[in-house]
Structure formats: structure tokens, C-alpha cells
């Protein structure tokens, strides 16, 4: 990939040239102290993401964005010299048979169309980094849209994309029978009775009753927890 000058912050498209003229254009830019690079074109992408290869090889030249106007003026100034190269290169082109049957007037007309295409202004768009490859169809032209390819495709986000949904929390434990119900009532109601007795001055009998209920309920729950674990072990296998 031919390069000229030091790296620039960003690049913009300048012109498309046939490969034999790349060195000439790069030398013009190098003489002006302009940073530029060239890369082959990859063709045009159709409406169904199909890439249409160009008719003949062409290389696109990019120049530093800040000096695009200066680079355009430098190339336009050297167009007469490039025209001689265009005529000399006609016999060596891929479409040399067509060029051999063309008259000098037709070749001049083709050159004028090339120059007109170069002078057309298009949207100033950033260039990709060096490293592409491909083909194109014209000697020198200004494109109005950037080349695209399969790598430019960005898949749309799937609205039905699965996301993690946490499972619902397990249900609160429920008493299995009356003994469990009385044990829970004593464990919860005992401390409440003790606090109420001291807060209202109801006497020591209420506090003692609450303490006894809490102790009895707590011991009952601990004793019956072993039975609950054995019941939850499930089936240990077939029994014959």
C-alpha cells in the first residue's frame, strides 16, 4: 500500500486512479508535503448486500482531511501531465481491445469525463484505515458515498433476546400440625408477653408465663426439626 508523509489524524477521499498512475499522483502529493495513502477498491454493494466487482482495477487515494482542498488543487494543476500518461497507458489497460478501436477524439472525450467527475464535489467523509483491497471502474473520480461490504453489516438487536429472570423466592415455612402452631406461637408470643409485662407493670406472673412459652416453643421447634429433615429426604430408591 503506497504511503506518503507522516500519519495524519484523519483522512478523506481524494481521487480514484488506475494502478499505473498511482505513483504519479502520490509523487505529486509527496512533493507538496501532503500525507496520503492508496488502497484498491472493493466494488459496490447492492440492495441485497451483494458485492458487484468493478470493471477494471482502480486504486483510491486518501489524503489528510485538514489539507484536502490543497491536495485537490495540486492534482488539478498536474492534470495535463497526467493526461499524457492516460494516452500512453491506453494500450496496456485491461480493456485494451476497446481502447484500440477508439479514436483520439473519443479518448479525449473519455478524459474530459474523468476530469469532470474529479471536479465534482461530494460529501466529505472519513476514510477507513489502510488495508482494504478490491477493484473499481474509472480512472479518476470523486465518489459521493463510501464503499461498503459485508463487514459493514450490523445485525439488528433481537427484541426477544432472552434475559435472566430470577426464580420466585421459596414460600415461608408453615406449621405441619397443631404442635408446630403452638410452638411458633410460644416462640413469638413469649418475648412479646415479657416486654408487655415490664412496660405495663402487669407483674412478674406475665413475664414468667411469656418466658416459659418462649422456652417451650423453642425447644419444640428444635426437637421437631430433625423429623422435618428426615421427611424431606425424599425417596431413597425402590423398595421391593
Residues 113, 193, single domain; the answer is no
Residues 29, 125, single domain; the answer is yes
Q: Do the domain assignments include residue 27? A: yes
Q: How many structural domains comprise the chain?
A: 2
Joined together, the cell numbers standing for residue 47 give 440492495
The conformation of residue 209, written as its DSSP 8-state character, comes to H
Residues 117, 205, single domain; the answer is no
- Express each pLDDT in 104-135 by its tens digit: 666 666 666 555 545 544 444 444 444 433 33
Domain boundary among 147, 165, 197: 147
Residue 38 β-bridge partners:
61
Q: Do the domain assignments include residue 7? A: yes
Residues 130, 59, single domain; the answer is yes
Q: What is the CA radius of gyration of the chain?
A: 43
Residues 93, 135, single domain; the answer is yes
148 pLDDT more than 70: no
Contact (Cβ atoms closer than 8 angstroms) between residue 137 and residue 54: yes
Domain that holds residue 189: 178-231
192 pLDDT more than 70: yes
- Express each pLDDT in 25-37 by its tens digit: 888 888 888 888 8
Q: What is the pLDDT of residue 136?
A: 36
Q: Which residue has the higher pLDDT, 30 or 153?
A: 30
**Lowest-confidence range among 23-32, 62-71, 84-93, 173-182?**
84-93
Q: What is the pLDDT of residue 111?
A: 62
Q: Do the domain assignments include residue 82? A: yes
Q: What is the arithmetic mean of pLDDT over 167-182?
A: 75
Q: In this structure, is the dihedral angle defined by the CA atoms of residues 63, 66, 67 and 69, taken in order, positive or negative?
A: positive
Residues 118, 13, single domain; the answer is yes
Q: Do the domain assignments include residue 192? A: yes
By percentage, how much of the chain surpasses pLDDT 90? Answer: 0
Q: What is the pLDDT of residue 228?
A: 59
Query: Cell 464503499 maps to which residue?
Result: 147
What mean pLDDT value characterizes the chain?
A: 69
Distance CA 110, CA 36 (A): 26
Residues 201, 85, single domain; the answer is no
Q: What is the pLDDT of residue 151?
A: 55
Q: Do the domain assignments include residue 152? A: no
103 pLDDT more than 80: no
Residues 108, 187, single domain; the answer is no
Confidence of residue 22 (pLDDT cuts 50, 70, 90): confident
Q: Do the domain assignments include residue 163? A: no
Q: What is the pLDDT of residue 38?
A: 87
Q: What is the arithmetic mean of pLDDT over 54-77?
A: 82
Q: Do the domain assignments include residue 161? A: no
Q: What is the pLDDT of residue 150?
A: 53
Distance CA 94, CA 90 (A): 9
Residues 31, 120, single domain; the answer is yes
Joined together, the cell numbers standing for residue 217 give 416453643
Q: What is the arithmetic mean of pLDDT over 179-201?
A: 82
Helix (H) or strand (E) holding 97: helix 96-101
Residues 107, 187, single domain; the answer is no
Residues 80, 183, single domain; the answer is no
Domain boundary among 126, 147, 168: 147
Q: What is the pLDDT of residue 131?
A: 42
Amino acid at each position: 500500500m503506497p504511503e506518503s508523509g507522516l500519519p495524519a489524524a484523519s483522512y478523506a477521499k481524494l481521487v480514484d486512479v488506475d494502478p499505473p498512475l498511482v505513483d504519479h499522483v502520490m509523487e505529486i502529493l509527496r512533493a507538496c508535503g501532503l500525507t496520503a495513502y492508496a488502497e484498491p477498491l472493493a466494488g459496490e454493494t447492492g440492495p441485497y448486500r451483494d458485492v458487484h466487482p468493478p470493471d477494471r482495477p482502480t486504486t483510491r487515494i486518501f489524503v489528510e482531511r485538514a489539507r484536502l482542498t490543497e491536495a485537490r488543487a495540486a492534482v488539478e494543476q498536474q492534470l495535463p501531465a497526467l493526461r499524457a500518461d492516460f494516452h500512453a497507458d491506453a494500450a496496456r489497460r485491461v480493456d485494451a481491445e476497446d481502447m484500440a478501436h477508439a479514436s483520439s477524439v473519443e479518448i479525449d472525450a473519455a478524459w474530459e469525463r474523468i476530469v469532470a467527475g474529479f471536479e465534482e464535489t461530494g460529501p466529505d467523509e472519513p476514510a477507513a484505515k489502510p488495508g482494504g483491497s478490491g477493484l473499481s471502474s474509472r480512472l479518476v473520480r470523486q465518489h459521493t458515498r463510501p464503499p461498503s461490504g459485508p463487514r459493514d453489516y450490523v445485525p439488528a438487536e433481537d427484541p426477544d433476546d432472552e434475559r435472566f429472570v430470577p426464580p420466585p423466592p421459596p414460600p415461608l415455612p408453615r406449621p405441619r400440625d397443631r404442635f408446630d402452631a403452638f410452638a411458633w406461637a410460644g416462640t413469638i408470643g413469649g418475648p412479646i408477653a415479657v416486654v408487655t409485662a415490664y412496660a405495663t407493670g402487669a407483674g412478674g406472673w406475665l413475664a414468667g408465663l411469656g418466658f416459659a412459652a418462649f422456652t417451650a416453643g423453642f425447644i419444640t421447634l428444635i426437637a421437631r426439626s430433625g423429623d422435618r429433615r428426615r421427611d424431606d429426604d425424599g425417596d431413597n430408591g425402590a423398595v421391593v
